Amino acid sequence: MAKPVKTPDGKLWFPTADGLVMADPGTIPKTMETAPVYLEEVWVGKQRVWSFNPLNPSSVKTSLAFPRGARDIDFRYTALDYSAPERVRFKHKIDGLDEDWSPPDATRTAHFQRIPPGSYRFRVQSCSRDGVWSAADSSIAFTVPASFWETVWFRAGAGAIAVSAVALLLAWRERHEARRKLRELEREQALERERARIARDIHDEVGAGLTEVALLSELAQAGMEQPERKYLDDIFKTAHNLTRSLDEIVWSINPANDTLEKLVSYLVEFSQDFLATASLPCRLEVPTELPSITVASTMRHQICLAVKETLNNTVKHARASEVRMEIGWAQRTLRIVIKDNGQGFKRTTVSNSGAACNGLNNIENRMHEIGGGCELQSCVGEGTCTTLSLEIPDPIKRPGG
C-alpha cells in the first residue's frame, strides 16, 4: 500500500484505485475524554475492611465503621483509562480533616497513619491523559470511634484525678512544711529553755558564790593590817569584776533579751555606769521608738563586747573630758557612734603589738564575725569617732509587736 503524502498546508493525500483521497486533520474534532475513578478497597492495618465487587451489588457501601484505635489506614482506588494509564493523575481529600485537595500524582493509594476520632468522608478525583478532571469524584463516608482514653468521660475523669492528685500533693507539702516548721519551732523553744536554764544556773550558783567571796573579803579587811589588806582588796576587785562579766554573759545568753529594744537599753545602761565610774560625762542620743524584732544572741554578745572595748579604750587612752554616744536605726541597720573630745591619734603611730592596737583589732574582728562593720576616724588633737554598724537580717515580728 502506497504511503500518504503530506502537502505544505497540512493535508494528507492517499492514492487509491479510485483516485486520490485527501484528508484534512485540522477538520477532525478532538474528543476530551475523562477517566472515571473508582474506590476499590479500604484497609486498616493488615485487615481489609471493605472491597468493591462490580458483580456484587451488595458490596457498594455508603459508609464504614473502623475499629477503635485504627491505624495505618489505606484507601485504594483506580481509573478506567486503558489507552495511557500511566498518565492518569489522582487527588484526594478527607472532608472534616483536610482543607485542600492533595497534590496530583500517579499514586493509587492514599495512606493515613492515624485519623482522629470522628465522622469523615474520603473523596478522590482522577485526571485523564488529556488533562481533564473527572466531573464526579468517588467517595465513601467512614467513622473512627474514639478509644476509651479519648472519650469525654475519660478525659473528665482523668482531669478530676489529676486535680485531686495535685490537691493531695499540695496538701501533703503543706502538712510536711507545717510539721517541719513545728519541729524547728520546738527545737528553738527547747534551745531557748536550755539557754534560760544555763543563765539561771550561772546567775544563781556562780554569781552568788562570787558575790559571797567579795563580801567575805571586804569583811575580812576590817580587822587586818594594811599589808595583808592589799591581798584581800585584790580578791575583792577580782571577784567584783568577775561578777560584772558574769552578769554580761548571763544577759547575752538569756533568750528573754533577744530583742533590739533590750539590746539598746542594755548598751545605754552599761555605758552610763561604765563612764560614771571613770568620772566621764556621757551624752546619749537614742531613738524614742524601736521595732520589735529579734536579735540573735551571738550578735548581741559581740556588739556588746565591741562597745565595751571601745569605751574601755576611750577611758584608758583618749584623755577625754566628754563622750557622746549616738544610736540609730534605719533600713534594718543598727548604727552606734561613739565620739570623744580627747587627744586623738594616728593609726600608723599605734604599735602593732600594743594593747591599744589589740583592742582596735578586737573590735573590728568582733564586728566582722557577725557580718557588721567598724569605721574608726581620729586626728591628733581632735578626738576619736568609732562607728559600729550591723545589719540585722529578716526581722521577725514578735507577738504583739
- 380 and 358 housed in the same domain: yes
Position 362 scores a pLDDT of 83
144 has a pLDDT exceeding 80: yes
Q: What is the DSSP code string of 305-371? A: HHHHHHHHHIIIII--S-EEEEEEEETTEEEEEEEE-S----GGGS-TTSHHHHHHHHHHHHHHHTT
- 194 and 64 housed in the same domain: no
Position 255 scores a pLDDT of 74
Q: Count the alpha carbons within 13 Å of 241 in the hemisphere toward its beta carbon.
A: 6
Domain contains 378: yes
373 has a pLDDT exceeding 50: yes
Query: Which residues fall within 8 angstroms of residue 236, CB to CB, at 6 or more apart?
Result: 214, 217, 218, 221
User: What sign does the dihedral 127-130-132-137 (CA atoms) show?
Assistant: negative
Domain contains 171: no
- 22 and 44 housed in the same domain: no
Which grid coordinates are listed for 68?
477503635
222 — pLDDT class (breaks 50, 70, 90): low
Give the mean model confidence (pLDDT) for residues 237-252: 70
Give the mean model confidence (pLDDT) for residues 61-88: 86
396 — pLDDT class (breaks 50, 70, 90): very low
49 has a pLDDT exceeding 70: yes
d(CA 190, CA 192): 5
d(CA 377, CA 339): 9
- 315 and 390 housed in the same domain: yes
Q: How many domains does the chain have?
A: 4
Give the mean model confidence (pLDDT) for residues 141-159: 82
Containing H/E element for 238?
Answer: helix 226-253
Last residue of a domain, which of 220, 255, 290?
255
- 398 and 276 housed in the same domain: yes
Nearest CA to 337 out of 365, 371, 310 is that of 310
87 has a pLDDT exceeding 70: yes
Strand partners, 330: 333
Domain contains 348: yes
Position 390 scores a pLDDT of 92
229 — pLDDT class (breaks 50, 70, 90): low
- 246 and 264 housed in the same domain: no
Last residue of a domain, which of 209, 232, 255?
255
Question: In the predicted model, what is the mean pLDDT of the chain?
Answer: 81
N-term to C-term CA, the chain: 126
Domain contains 175: no
Are 91 and 102 spatial neighbours (Cβ–Cβ below 8 Å)? yes
Position 216 scores a pLDDT of 65
- 297 and 245 housed in the same domain: no
Q: CA angle, corner 364, sides to 334 and 352, nearest 5?
A: 155
Of 77-91, 119-133, 316-330, which gets the smallest average pLDDT?
A: 77-91
Are 341 and 322 spatial neighbours (Cβ–Cβ below 8 Å)? yes
Position 399 scores a pLDDT of 39
Which grid coordinates are listed for 73?
489506614
Q: Percent of the chain at pLDDT above 90?
A: 26
32 — pLDDT class (breaks 50, 70, 90): low
283 has a pLDDT exceeding 70: yes
- 5 and 127 housed in the same domain: no
Containing H/E element for 300?
Answer: helix 297-313
d(CA 226, CA 206): 29
Burial category of 74 from C-beta neighbours within 10 Å (exposed 0-12, middle 13-18, buried 19 and up): middle
d(CA 101, CA 161): 42
105 — pLDDT class (breaks 50, 70, 90): very high
- 249 and 359 housed in the same domain: no
Are 252 and 300 spatial neighbours (Cβ–Cβ below 8 Å)? yes
Single-letter code of the amino acid located at 78: T
275 has a pLDDT exceeding 70: yes
Residue-number span of the structural domain to which 80 is assigned: 37-147
Domain contains 180: no
Query: Which residues fall within 8 angstroms of residue 115, CB to CB, at 6 or more apart?
Result: 70, 73, 94, 97, 144
1 has a pLDDT exceeding 50: yes
Domain contains 389: yes
235 has a pLDDT exceeding 80: no
CATH assignment of the domain containing 369: 3.30.565.10
Top-confidence residue, 55 or 103? 103
Which grid coordinates are listed for 312?
574601755
Of 112-116, 129-133, 148-152, which gets the smallest average pLDDT?
A: 148-152
d(CA 326, CA 261): 15
18 — pLDDT class (breaks 50, 70, 90): confident
d(CA 257, CA 270): 15
295 — pLDDT class (breaks 50, 70, 90): confident
- 367 and 309 housed in the same domain: yes
Top-confidence residue, 186 or 238? 186
Of 180-184, 206-210, 331-335, 388-392, which gets the smallest average pLDDT?
A: 206-210
Nearest CA to 318 out of 273, 284, 264, 280 is that of 280
- 385 and 263 housed in the same domain: yes
Domain contains 178: no
Position 128 scores a pLDDT of 86
CATH assignment of the domain containing 48: 2.60.40.10
Last residue of a domain, which of 147, 182, 213?
147
Strand partners, 328: 335
Q: Count the alpha carbons within 13 Å of 70 in the hemisphere toward its beta carbon.
A: 24
- 105 and 9 housed in the same domain: no
Position 400 scores a pLDDT of 39
Give the mean model confidence (pLDDT) for residues 336-363: 74
Domain contains 163: no
Position 126 scores a pLDDT of 92
